[in-house]
Chains A and B, each alone.
Chain A
């Protein structure tokens, strides 16, 4: 048994950054309303970092009013970024996190003691980004008329893919049952993508846009296990 309560990890999260140029109650409200109305679902309870990098340093926006307006539109301000020295006190009062400007060490926040820590965090972020997206795992049959897409990663189907169903992945596709429908791997153009299936009975298989239909497949490992990969511009059906 592991009795640790937690583990600390660095993680890169994609987040909305609101780059402030200037602030006045009325126009900020109006412009934010316009933006949110374009995609209300997208902004619903979205965390937001407010960046002051692009704001002239002589400005002193009313933080409390600004956060209030953000919250009325269901945004959730998380942090203030690149706060100029003269606004630091006001920024601290908001209770939000204060994070340094990107790519430079211009924020007075970083005292000599803090600087190394900040560097560690930056390194972690880079590491985390290199880790690939987790595979999408489907445990039930993919039925006729259904479509499953593994964006940015591999797709693993532990069951069958029925005729009239379509499975797609940016990476590889593994099917541990019969493939009767369509399988398209490397749909964003990855020519190194593969398709593996337990029993090949497909309507169509494609890798990076190169496809073959069932007529051609019937001559190669039909009703047998198969590994399909790209050999130049030609799809090659190999023994698994």
Chain B
């Protein structure tokens, strides 16, 4: 039975799509057949981040409306085996998503896939609620900043009350905190919330800390999930997060500002 993972946050611009692409790729690299679904109907982005925007013919809404079959709409990733993308529609709005339609598509995917990643749109409206409704696991993507933390808290409340698991009184959705755009130097300077501040407020287990990194922007612009950039700190941090999601226990990295070397200090370089 496939596991349905929603990547959600409440707030926009915190790195949900980057995370969906990275985690999806990471799971596929670990040998699991994985599909990433873009729920952001009307503002589709996932295909850009995954570098497959020119191959979109049919989309998620076409499948829900039975204008295309799943196989026609699924895009196979060119770099990674076992990885598929179900893109969002750019020309419709979120009302095109119905609970019944989404449920049917997810059921069909669950027959052949191991992991289904739902990339949630920002906000707490219909699109976001559809993305989280069927979830077994939630990765709550949060920036170390008060408004992002507050919105994540709100989303956790919605997961508790409006998910299918909540409605059926099943075991609650497994919640994971993924802290992105973390800048240890700014935390030390008191300009950013620390990992323990955020953990304290949200009170859910920490899946990973992704450091603020130039590699992320570079990866997005080139349409390559950042996890494939294994030389970068962000790529390694995502890889750690995927391994933790699969049950491994790894120590958290990139929590402290790197100490400047003697020459760097001397020359005042970065």
* Docked CA distance A141–B156 (Å): 9
CA A160 – CA B200 in complex, angstroms?
Answer: 10
B side interface size, CB within 8 A: 13
Task: Please report whether the interface of chain A is mostly helix, strand, loop or mixed according to DSSP.
Answer: loop
Q: Is the CB of B160 within 8 A of A163?
A: no
* A135 close to B (CB within 8 Å): no
Q: Which residue of A lies closest to B150 (CB)?
A: A144
CA distance A178 to B201 in the complex (A): 9
| B residues in contact with A22, CB < 8 Å | none
How far is B157's CA from A159's CA once the two chains are assembled, in angstroms? Answer: 13
Check B160–A140 contact: CB distance below 8 A: yes
Structural contact, A143 and B157, CB atoms closer than 8 A: yes
Complex contact A144–B203 (CB within 8 A):
no
**Would you give the shortest CB distance from A167 to chain B, in whole angstroms?**
13
Q: Looking at B154, B158, B200, which has the most chain A CB atoms within 10 Å of its CB?
A: B154
B193 shortest CB reach to chain A, Å: 13
Q: Kindly state whether residue A11 has any CB partner on chain B within 8 Å.
A: no
**Is residue B153 contacting chain A, with contact meaning CB distance below 8 A?**
yes
Contacts of A180 in B (CB 8 A): 201
- Which of A140, A164, A178 meets B153, CB within 8 Å? A164
A163 to B154, CA, bound (A): 10
Across the interface, do B153 and A144 meet the contact criterion of CB distance under 8 Å?
Answer: yes
Nearest CB in chain B to that of A165: its residue = B157
Is the CB–CB distance between B157 and A146 below 8 Å? yes
Q: Is B161 an interface residue (CB 8 A)?
A: yes
B157 / chain A contacts, CB cutoff of 8 Å: 142-146, 162, 165
Contact with A along B149-192 (1 / 0, CB 8 A): 01101101110110000000000100000000000000000000
Q: Which residues of chain B in 54-83 are interfacial with respect to chain A, using CB atoms and an 8 Å cutoff?
A: none
Interface centre among A143, A164, A165 (most CB of B within 10 A): A143
CA distance A167 to B217 in the complex (A): 42
Q: How far is the CA of A159 from the CA of B202 in the complex (A)?
A: 11
**How does the 8 Å CB contact mask read for B117-153 relative to A, with 1 for contact and 0 for none?**
0000000000000000000000000000000001101
Tell me, in angstroms, the Cα distance from A153 to B31 when the chains sit together.
Answer: 53
Taking the closest CB of chain A, its distance from the CB of B146, in whole angstroms, is 9
**Distance of A148 Cα from B91 Cα, bound (Å):** 40
Q: How far is the CA of A164 from the CA of B156 in the complex (A)?
A: 13
Whether the Cβ atoms of A145 and B160 lie closer than 8 Å is no
Chain B residues whose C-beta falls within 8 Å of the C-beta of A140 in the assembled complex: 160, 172
CB contact under 8 A between A159 and B203, given known A143-B156, A143-B160, A146-B157: yes
9 contacts between A and B (CB under 8 A): A140-B160, A141-B156, A141-B203, A142-B157, A144-B153, A145-B154, A162-B201, A163-B153, A178-B200
